[in-house]
Structure 1
Amino acid sequence: MPCALCGDIIPTEVARCPACGAWARRRDFRAIGVAVFMLLGFNAFIALGSGISLLRLERPLERLTRDGYDAASTGRALAPYADVFTVSAVLAGITGVLYLAWLWRAYRQASGPRPYHRRWVILGWLVPVVNLWLPPRMVHDVWVSSGRFTPAGRYAVGAVVTAWWGSVLAAIGLAQAFPGGVASLAEARFSVHLGVAAAACQALAAALCMLTVFQITRLQIDRPLAT
């Protein structure tokens, strides 16, 4: 198999890359991180495309009057976007499974203090109420424990994680609310605005998650693995 760090071909029975000396555990972790990063990028691309497409519907609606508004045609135009959000949710679920596998490894390999048991890497996303605050806390702890940060650096990490989690929650809530009513022109305009906001939050959440995955993977690849 090719080494994830240098690209050299490594026999399966060899634990370290003969070219760069990378351990197999690091190769595997790097490979998972790259896969999660690429899937998150695909999520962001779909969300961004949906938002731009919805913005194109906004201008015609702004020019319409109540007398010229056709609820049936507007409903048909907005219906596919509900399917897009459903597909995005399924894709996010698939990405989430691989992301949890990556986070499980990252939490185990973090060199700093880990205040929570590793099982909460999974349970934190499943237990009601707890899943509203524990996942970002776990990601923050892994990120900070994977490197050496100044107080300003820790603040920046916290700001990125908070922005990511806020975008996730906003994207879920807005996507659940879409599509809104299209019985009137005002309701149709509101639905389009809601869809654009949901797509923007999805794209932002995916982009910020890409940043966390990249930084944590890089830090853990560069430092000795915890035992």
Structure 2
Amino acid sequence: MPCALCGDIIPTEVVRCPACGAWARRRDFRAVGVAVFMLLGFNAFVALGSGLSLLRFSEPLRAATHGTYDAAATERALAPYTELFTISAIMAGVTGILYLTWLWRAFGQSPGPHQYHRAWVLLGWVTPVVNLWLPARTVYEVWVNSGRYRTAQRQAVGAVVAAWWACLLLGVLLAYAFAHGSVDTLSDARFDVHVGVAAAACQSLAASLCMAAVFQITRLQTAPGELAQARES
């Protein structure tokens, strides 16, 4: 069968390409990348829908007055949105497990040198303080090492990764603030709804930017000759 990286013919009895040393089977990696891409798209769609629905909910609050405002009714109306954010967090966790599986493979297949050990692909997400910046750094290294990028292109990749990570962290914080917000007064309710809309927007944008990263890295690592050229450079 032909190598997915350099195009050389790989004998059936070996598991690595004799020309570039790549693993013979990359189709499963592409399948995982497609699955992660689709799950991220579903997460982005749910978050976007939540934000649009909250925007519609803010219309009655805008027309309400302090005399007509009902805090109990507003709290009951916002409860499903809090549950929806909880469901989104569970979906993100499931997506994250598959994403880390994909990222582990992508890190191992990308040419070095890497600044951090491969174990940090997993540890970087669960280690306090470190998990505020290392996951984004790991994704950036895998992305730029998977292709032949000029300085301006590396800066563009860094901007995309930084925007993704900032939106992800901000989305998590805003969702937590929305779930624990107060609706005792009309102004509090309006502010809490705006926080929920901002949280949904950040989560949707973060998922979309992550889709772009997954697509590009998977494309680079499965394109014929792309990694081989990156190794030579």
| Distance across 2 between alignment mates of 1:137 and 1:101 | 17
How far apart are residue 23 of structure 1 and its match? 6.6
| Distance across 2 between alignment mates of 1:24 and 1:32 | 16
1:189: which partner in 2?
190
Superposed counterparts of 1:20-35, under 5 Å: 25-35=25-35
1:37: which partner in 2?
37
User: Structure 1-normalised TM-score?
Assistant: 0.88
Residue type of the partner of 1:205? A
Superposed counterparts of 1:1-227, under 5 Å: 25-179=25-179, 180-222=181-223, 223-224=226-227
RMSD of aligned C-alpha atoms?
2.1
Equivalent position SS for 1:44 = helix
How far apart are residue 189 of structure 1 and its match? 0.2
Q: Which runs of 5+ in 2 are unaligned?
A: 5-12, 17-21
Relative distance call for 1:121 and 1:105 in structure 2 (3 A) is same
Q: Which runs of 5+ in 1 are unaligned?
A: 5-12, 17-21
Larger RCO, structures 1/2 (Cα 8 Å, 6+ apart): 2
Aligned residues of 2:110 and 2:227 also touching (Cα < 8 A): no
Aligned residues of 2:178 and 2:195 also touching (Cα < 8 A): yes
User: Structure 2-normalised TM-score?
Assistant: 0.86
Residue type of the partner of 2:222? I
Aligned residues of 2:220 and 2:227 also touching (Cα < 8 A): no
Aligned residues of 1:40 and 1:209 also touching (Cα < 8 A): yes
Residue type of the partner of 1:47? A
Q: Residue by residue, what CA displacement relative to the aligned partner does 1:47-83 show, whole Å, maximum 9, x if unpaired?
A: 0000000000111101111001011111111000000
Structure 1 segments of 4+ aligned residues over 6 angstroms from their partners: 13-16
Residue type of the partner of 1:108? G
Aligned residues of 1:30 and 1:217 also touching (Cα < 8 A): yes
**Higher mean C-alpha deviation, range 200-209 or range 113-122:** 113-122
Q: Residue by residue, what CA displacement relative to the aligned partner does 1:9-54 show, whole Å, maximum 9, x if unpaired?
A: xxxx9979xxxxx975310110000000000000000000000000
| Distance across 2 between alignment mates of 1:79 and 1:24 | 51
